Structure 1
Amino acid sequence: MAIDEVPDARVPDTAESGNPDTPSTDTSGSDTPSSAVASPSAAPSSARAGGWAALRPLLLRMHFYAGLLIAPLLFLAAATGFLYALSFQAEKILYAHELTVDRVGGTALPLGKQVEAAQHAAPAGGKVVGVWPAPEADATTRVILQSPTVGEDENLTVFVDPYTAEVRGQLTTSGDALPLRAWLSEFHASLQLGEFGRIYSELAASWLWIVALGGLALWIGRRRARKAQLVLPERKGRASGRRRTLSWHGSVGLWSAAGLVVLSATGLTWSTYAGENIGRLQDRVGGATPSVSATLGGGAGHGAGGDEHAGHTMPDGTQMPGMPATADVGVDKAVEAARAAGVTDHVQVTLPAKGKGYVIKERDRQVPVHLDSVAVDPADGRVMDELRFADYPVLAKLTRFGIDVHMGLMFGLVNQLALALLAVAVMFLVVWGYRMWWLRRPTKDRLLSFGRPQPRGAWRKLPVTVLLPLAAVVAVVGWFVPLLGISLLAFVAVDVVLGAVAVRRGRGATAEAR
């Protein structure tokens, strides 16, 4: 049976809880008895209502279909995101030998000696492309190589004890992510299915903010006896069955809405289709992420080119060609020059390629962030260009902050726990939503029956002054976020087909009755 074949009669809560004193509720939680809905004095369906009374049925129907059809993707994105959020702490345990030293020494060896040790330990054919000096006293130095033994978008990272030059291990990495987090990151983004798999995560991100904001509006606009019912779920009294589920669904959704909107917006920034549009818009309004100029013999200046949408692990310049065979002051003097220029916190060094100098960046993204960078001439150790994070365009800063929050980097463990809680909240919201749909079955003795949908024709009740601007906004958003627009058109097409089938069957039943 199609979902629109279910009779559009309200189902009283007495059928759900067995309590004859419990009034019926619709999907918004309104306590209006079903008898009042069927009253002859009710306004005719052709009358156009204004304001919230006209908009609410349309939101109900949209929230119903989006929740019913997109919810599996949201659940999957939340489950994989939950695993990703936990991977930061898991990395510290799983790769403790590579990440830390056995004993903290007095003075670290020169970076050049650490790089030499890594080169001797690495497989033949690898090229050193970057060095990440130990950020903490008990941490190892990461020497990053391009190697034929790893994938095209991966690096081989050798972990070196900065006090003894002992090689603690080698791992395949993607940006700053070690194997576990890199795998879970890609699993969250594409289910390990490549570019095709990224469609799932973009669809989820495209609809998440609509489901969250639509549900928030419905929950706030619901009639309730006590204000506390807005923010706290009902646990006692007559609340049972679908009403209690709705209470938990609405309350948890209210507390989660802001975080879900942020996750949706930031997730779209590196999506395949919407991300491209966002990047273009950001460039046009002067919000592109700048990068330090490292070209030898060229004038200093900041070029746009920070690739904020390259992938979930955000490589940040680790994909680089090998070192040229020219005069070089060495990595130690380059880092010394950068530190003298104020680039001091958790630095990462990109070794010079042909026609380029050293690029030395701060990579400490926790608040307060340290993301300054400089370019150093390898011939004489002179600072050729400087770029301060304070000089980033406002939009570039917001993009950086949003992505780092989404990735669990900005606030460390607190950020990661918040992401995990949001993921759990989404999974519960999906389960509660399906449970409410199940409890809306027109009869409980038909196990395979479906909960009724919201009535059609809600858009016809909107005033023209609301309908036309709303249609224009939907068209613009659907173009800007393509998978949202395409899936919305698909929903409408399916709804029209189901409606036509229901009407034809209704006419057939009427003809047989005559």
Structure 2
Amino acid sequence: MSATLPASGTQTARATGAVHPGYRTLWRWHFYAGLFVMPFLIVLAITGTIYCFQPQIEPLLYPHRLVVTPMDTPRLPADTLLARAQASLPPDAKAIRAHIDANPARSAEFVFALANGSKESVYLNPYSGDVLGTLDVDGRFMQVDRMLHRKLLLGKSGELLMELASCWTLVMIGTGVALWWPRSTSGSKGSKLRAAIWPRLSTKGRPLWKSLHSVIGIWLAVGALAFVLSGLPWTGSWGKQFKELATRMSVGAPRGAWGGGLPLKSTLPGAQQAANTAAPQMDHSEHAGHDMASMPGMVMDDLPLPNVPWAVGAMHVPQSPDATAPKPARWTLDQIVAQMAALGVASGYDIALPASATGVYTMSYFPPDPQQERTVYIDQYNGRVLKDIRYADYGAVSQVISYGTSLHMGRYFGLANQLICAAISLGLAALAVTGFVMWWLRRPTRKLGAPSRERAAPPMRAWKTGLAVLAVIFPLMGATILAVLLLDRLIFSGSRDLSLS
């Protein structure tokens, strides 16, 4: 976003009072933020819009795997379908996840870990048991789109770049609003407001692009801010640390999530667990406390689950060595499905299957309504519910983030939510495009084209305080702010004075 000013240039702008002290400083920072954010913003906008419509797109991409013709005959038992899926793969394939869906037009899906390290989904007709096909989990179109959105398919370095782009978008929004803010003393209030919120389509060239850029930006400012803030908790660096901090302070993961006397691992029949036999069937203790350090190994985010509620992502899961004694029979998948139905969750969830003799069945229910989220751990031998974590158990921060996530993904109120998210995403892409066109039309020869500094800039304490706050909250961004300051002083200090038109 940039200020909407008359095409007559700098002198006219100053005469009307539109150029206020500090304007060029804000414009300079807006330029740097936009320069860095622009390519990432386009990627985020396109991939985010696509992922938002995942429920509609995937059945069109894989109709022969995902979609079946509903039949009047009963669906086959889950264990029968799992056995048939297993038989279609090499003997060393290991079942790691089951998707449970009661939709009569939806195929059954099971995920297996293969010997080469890849994961493969097997789809079956739930009525006949016929194998419909397979998909590489990591090569699935929506998974590729998701990884582009989160990390540009570049691993940790891409994840950090996307996080930085999100943080610098906050600077772009803040400076854009400040530059847009109408300050002219001439003209009626109505005409100034109209010029500020409606593009001047009668103009041509760069003034037209500037008008479009500023108007699109101000209309999207609130939505863009909400998008950034709701997406940052899921980032791989700051988001992960924030999640761990929220968990330790009991404003993220449920308090007492690992307390109450019940160990969150399956009890091998015959083992000496006298302390556990007297424990209640279900632990709902809210104040027992939990020791994250005493639960080494994977956290929930590491499990082979497509979606895990943010509140439980940093919580550790059982990881114990296989017992040397012969393994007793464990509960069947059908029994676990019946157990979940008894708990009030009948469809639309995923089950991570036990990975060891003391592992547990881990159920993750991630519906559009955050208040229905559930994470359930069940003993694999006796079906005892070891923990049932619900929205009401979350800390205040996690409850807010759960709603933000659902809105961010376009899930909370159906198609309307998807369309709003798409409009904001594509509008952000339009900001990047119009900003590039504006720069291209006024670019100097062999120069970056950053706006020149003010000869006597005001203190701008509020602006400096805002940058300092962002640097403290987002340390990685703080390092890049210092880098930009150094580059601005040492390399870009000679940028010529560019016209404001």
Bin of the TM-score, shorter chain as denominator length: 0.7 to 0.9
Distance 2:399 2:488 in 1: 42
Distance 1:421 1:312 in 2: 29
Determine whether 1:494 maps to 2:469: no
Aligned partners of 1:289 and 1:307 also within 8 Å: no
Displacement of 1:35 after TM fit? Answer: 4.1
- 2:273 maps to none
- 1:196 maps to 157
Displacement of 1:87 after TM fit? Answer: 5.2
Displacement of 1:252 after TM fit? Answer: 0.9
SS of match in other structure, 1:269: helix
Aligned partners of 2:252 and 2:396 also within 8 Å: no
Aligned partners of 1:60 and 1:454 also within 8 Å: no
Aligned partners of 2:266 and 2:381 also within 8 Å: no
Displacement of 1:355 after TM fit? Answer: 2.0
- 2:337 maps to 335
- 1:360 maps to 363
- 1:28 maps to 3
Distance 2:13 2:198 in 1: 28
Aligned partners of 2:27 and 2:451 also within 8 Å: no
For residues 37 and 404 of structure 1, do their structure 2 counterparts lie closer, same or farther at Cα, with a shift above 3 Å needed?
closer
> Letter of the aligned partner of 2:353 in structure 1?
L
Identity of aligned residues (%): 25
Distance 1:367 1:436 in 2: 42
Distance 1:355 1:323 in 2: 7
Instruction: Report 1:54-203 matches (<5 A).
Output: 54-85=21-52, 88-151=55-118, 155-173=119-137, 179-203=140-164
Determine whether 1:235 maps to 2:201: yes
Displacement of 1:433 after TM fit? Answer: 1.6
Distance 2:303 2:33 in 1: 29
Aligned partners of 2:450 and 2:495 also within 8 Å: no
> Letter of the aligned partner of 1:359 in structure 2?
T
For residues 156 and 272 of structure 1, do their structure 2 counterparts lie closer, same or farther at Cα, with a shift above 3 Å needed?
same
Distance 1:334 1:499 in 2: 64
Question: Which of 398, 420, 423 pairs up with 2:422?
Answer: 420
Cα deviations across residues 319-357 of structure 1 (Å, max 9, x unaligned)?
Answer: 998998323232222221222122234232233342233
- 1:263 maps to 227
Determine whether 1:207 maps to 2:207: no
Structure 2: where are the runs of 5+ without partners? 268-275, 293-297, 497-501
Aligned partners of 1:287 and 1:395 also within 8 Å: yes
> Letter of the aligned partner of 1:375 in structure 2?
Y
Displacement of 1:248 after TM fit? Answer: 1.1
Determine whether 1:397 maps to 2:399: yes
- 1:296 maps to 266
SS of match in other structure, 2:26: helix
Structure 1: where are the runs of 5+ without partners? 1-25, 44-51, 504-514
SS of match in other structure, 2:376: strand
Distance 1:283 1:249 in 2: 41
SS of match in other structure, 2:234: coil
Instruction: Report 1:267-286 matches (<5 A).
Output: 267-286=231-250
Distance 2:341 2:470 in 1: 46
For residues 475 and 94 of structure 1, do their structure 2 counterparts lie closer, same or farther at Cα, with a shift above 3 Å needed?
same
Distance 1:323 1:35 in 2: 78
Question: Which of 250, 271, 285 pairs up with 2:214?
Answer: 250
> Letter of the aligned partner of 1:140 in structure 2?
S
Distance 1:274 1:193 in 2: 18
For residues 431 and 388 of structure 1, do their structure 2 counterparts lie closer, same or farther at Cα, with a shift above 3 Å needed?
closer
Distance 2:372 2:480 in 1: 41
Cα deviations across residues 257-307 of structure 1 (Å, max 9, x unaligned)?
Answer: 222222222332233332244224323432223468742355646867975
Cα deviations across residues 217-267 of structure 1 (Å, max 9, x unaligned)?
Answer: 32234447342333222223xx33332222211111122222222222233
Instruction: Report 1:365-380 matches (<5 A).
Output: 365-367=367-369, 370-380=372-382
Distance 1:309 1:120 in 2: 27
**Considering only CA atoms, is the larger Rg found in Structure 1 or Structure 2?**
1
Displacement of 1:201 after TM fit? Answer: 1.2
> Letter of the aligned partner of 2:57 in structure 1?
A
Displacement of 1:372 after TM fit? Answer: 2.2
> Letter of the aligned partner of 1:65 in structure 2?
Y
Aligned partners of 2:370 and 2:391 also within 8 Å: no
Determine whether 1:481 maps to 2:474: yes
SS of match in other structure, 1:106: coil
- 2:295 maps to none
For residues 56 and 308 of structure 1, do their structure 2 counterparts lie closer, same or farther at Cα, with a shift above 3 Å needed?
farther
Distance 1:501 1:340 in 2: 71
Displacement of 1:194 after TM fit? Answer: 1.9
For residues 242 and 311 of structure 1, do their structure 2 counterparts lie closer, same or farther at Cα, with a shift above 3 Å needed?
farther
For residues 91 and 369 of structure 1, do their structure 2 counterparts lie closer, same or farther at Cα, with a shift above 3 Å needed?
farther
Distance 1:149 1:87 in 2: 28
Question: Which of 450, 453, 456 pairs up with 2:451?
Answer: 453
Aligned partners of 2:447 and 2:495 also within 8 Å: no
Distance 1:294 1:242 in 2: 63
SS of match in other structure, 1:132: strand
Distance 2:148 2:339 in 1: 40
SS of match in other structure, 2:387: strand
For residues 38 and 220 of structure 1, do their structure 2 counterparts lie closer, same or farther at Cα, with a shift above 3 Å needed?
closer
> Letter of the aligned partner of 1:230 in structure 2?
A
Aligned partners of 1:437 and 1:450 also within 8 Å: no
Instruction: Report 1:297-316 matches (<5 A).
Output: 300=283, 307=300, 314=307
Aligned partners of 1:440 and 1:450 also within 8 Å: no
Distance 2:65 2:403 in 1: 29
For residues 213 and 276 of structure 1, do their structure 2 counterparts lie closer, same or farther at Cα, with a shift above 3 Å needed?
same
Aligned partners of 1:359 and 1:376 also within 8 Å: yes
Distance 1:311 1:327 in 2: 23
SS of match in other structure, 2:372: coil
- Number of residue-to-residue matches in the alignment: 449
Q: TM-score, normalising length from structure 1? A: 0.75
Aligned partners of 2:32 and 2:450 also within 8 Å: no
> Letter of the aligned partner of 1:233 in structure 2?
P
